[in-house]
């Protein structure tokens, strides 16, 4: 049959399929319609974590300990690489220590550090911190960050922003999955840069002390997905991973797993309201989800700034825009900001921490913003 002879309803099917070939569905809007709250000038909600004249400080991650008031943060002295700095807050992020002693070889870090709490099958608690490129290296603390091992390789493989998310699995106590990406340069010692981003998963069954050889989740020469940020469904049965689209021509994407990371859905483009880099989130006391990220939405008055999103997990599943967006802080240099840590305190206070060029023509520094969803709701009404 000639194409022109296709019945009209079949033409609609063909058109829909062709529109979704590259990304799994027709392209969503490049902007958003939900309200925008601006916290940029709310200095009463802001805490300076670290600042050094003339020194670039960036890319922090945080971990909240079980006392629900001690937060540890790590970050490099430099853009994505440099000596790793560690600080501690014992009052839920209101105040921060001086820079703490760290092992000598932490100064050799080549990548963004990431820090996580893990617990093995015997109930032993540890903190683990990763530094990427090749090979991925890890440091371990068995006393809640008071002392640490030097960075040591976890295998003869590497990647970019390695172990940005580490998720406990339901397959057994002490079982974890970590996600990261690479562009071909660092996965093996002989690697060369390719035009394709590859998303990887790796597993641990001993409380995060050792990690399996990474398995590929996804790669596509048209959709360059990276910097995974994982959120579980409220009932814990499903994982959703939000992903940066590195070519900057599409919205961010999302994938889902219903079998503890064994298999994943095809990527689906997210609404413009959720387009950004390095999505990190936690659930509030009422079950709503707060996500923090760098705004890379194509049509946005806060593009390049540090922003947040409030909505529900159901919004992610059904591709809805969510409830509202928040500008946490205006960034004054391109899109160089917002690799965030997000923690939730028992009283419902979010402590979100990141770096950025918060003052024009000044080096970036580390800042926290503290708020509750109730405070944001009130501002959304105004």
Question: pLDDT class for 352, splitting at 50, 70, 90?
Answer: very high
Structure confidence at residue 8 (pLDDT)? 32
Residue 26: the pLDDT is: 65
pLDDT(131) > 90: yes
| Residue corresponding to tokens 């991650």 | 61
User: What pLDDT, in 10s, does the model give residues 83-95?
Assistant: 999 999 999 999 9
Domains of the chain: 28-381 (2.120.10.10)
Say how far apart CA 306 and CA 331 lie, in whole Å. 7
In the three-class reduction of DSSP (H, G, I as helix; E, B as strand; rest coil), residue 218 is classed as strand
Q: Token match 């600042």: residue?
A: 51
pTM of this prediction exceeds 0.85: yes
Taking only the tens place, the pLDDT of each residue in 259-306 is 999 999 999 999 999 999 999 999 999 999 999 999 999 999 999 999
Strand arrangement, sheet containing 350-356: 46-50, 365-371, 350-356, 341-344
Q: What is the pLDDT of residues 313-332, one digit of tens each?
A: 999 999 999 999 999 999 99
- Mean pLDDT for all residues in the chain: 93
Give the Cα separation of 165 and 186 in Å (integer): 19
Tens digit of each residue's pLDDT (9 = 90 or more) over 241-255: 999 999 999 999 999
SS3 324: strand
Tokens of 280: 């990190």
The pLDDT value recorded for residue 227 is 97
Between these two residues, 339 and 139, which has the higher pLDDT value?
A: 139
Q: Percentage of the chain surpassing pLDDT 90?
A: 89
Print the SS3 string covering 328-372: EECCCCCCCECCCEEEECCCCCEEEEEEECCCCCCCCEEEEEEEC
CB 64 within 8 A of CB 307: no
Which tens digits make up the pLDDT trace of 145-163? 999 999 999 999 999 999 9
Token pair for 376: 């944001």
Q: Return the half-sphere exposure (C-beta side, CA atoms, 13 A cut-off) of residue 204.
A: 22
Strand partners, 291: 281, 309
Whether residue 40 has pLDDT greater than 70? yes
- The pLDDT confidence band at residue 192, using thresholds 50, 70 and 90, is confident
């Amino acid at each position: 049959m000639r194409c022109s002879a296709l019945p009209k309803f079949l033409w609609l099917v063909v058109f829909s399929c062709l529109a979704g070939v590259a990304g799994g569905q027709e392209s969503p809007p490049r902007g958003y319609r939900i309200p925008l709250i601006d916290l940029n000038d709310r200095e009463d909600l802001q805490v300076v974590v670290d600042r050094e004249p003339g020194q670039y400080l960036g890319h922090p991650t945080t971990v909240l300990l079980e006392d629900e008031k001690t937060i540890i943060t790590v970050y490099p002295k430099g853009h994505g690489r440099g000596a790793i700095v560690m600080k501690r807050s014992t009052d839920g992020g209101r105040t921060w220590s001086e820079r703490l002693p760290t092992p000598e070889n932490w100064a050799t870090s080549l990548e963004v550090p990431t820090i996580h709490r893990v617990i093995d099958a015997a109930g032993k608690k540890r903190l683990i911190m990763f530094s990427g490129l090749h090979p991925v290296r890890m440091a371990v603390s068995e006393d809640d960050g008071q002392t640490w091992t030097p960075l040591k390789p976890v295998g003869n493989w590497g990647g970019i922003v390695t172990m940005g998310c580490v998720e406990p699995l339901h397959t057994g106590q002490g079982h974890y999955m970590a996600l990261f990406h690479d562009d071909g340069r660092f996965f093996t010692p002989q690697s060369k840069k390719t035009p394709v981003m590859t998303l990887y998963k790796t597993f641990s069954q001993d409380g995060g002390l050792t990690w399996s050889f990474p398995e590929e989740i996804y790669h596509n020469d048209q959709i360059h997905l990276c910097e995974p940020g994982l959120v579980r469904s409220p009932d814990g049965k499903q994982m959703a991973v939000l992903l940066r689209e590195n070519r900057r021509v599409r919205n961010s994407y999302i994938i889902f797993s219903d079998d503890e990371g064994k298999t994943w859905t095809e990527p689906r483009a997210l609404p413009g309201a959720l387009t950004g880099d390095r999505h990190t989130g936690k659930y509030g006391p009422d079950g709503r989800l707060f996500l923090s990220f760098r705004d890379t939405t194509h049509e946005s008055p806060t593009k390049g700034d540090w922003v947040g999103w409030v909505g529900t997990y159901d919004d992610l599943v059904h591709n809805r825009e969510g409830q509202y967006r928040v500008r946490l802080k205006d960034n004054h240099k391109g899109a160089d900001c917002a690799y965030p840590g997000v923690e939730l305190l028992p009283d419902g206070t979010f402590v979100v921490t990141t770096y950025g060029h918060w003052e024009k023509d000044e080096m970036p520094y580390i800042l926290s913003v503290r708020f509750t969803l109730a405070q944001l709701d009130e501002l959304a009404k105004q």
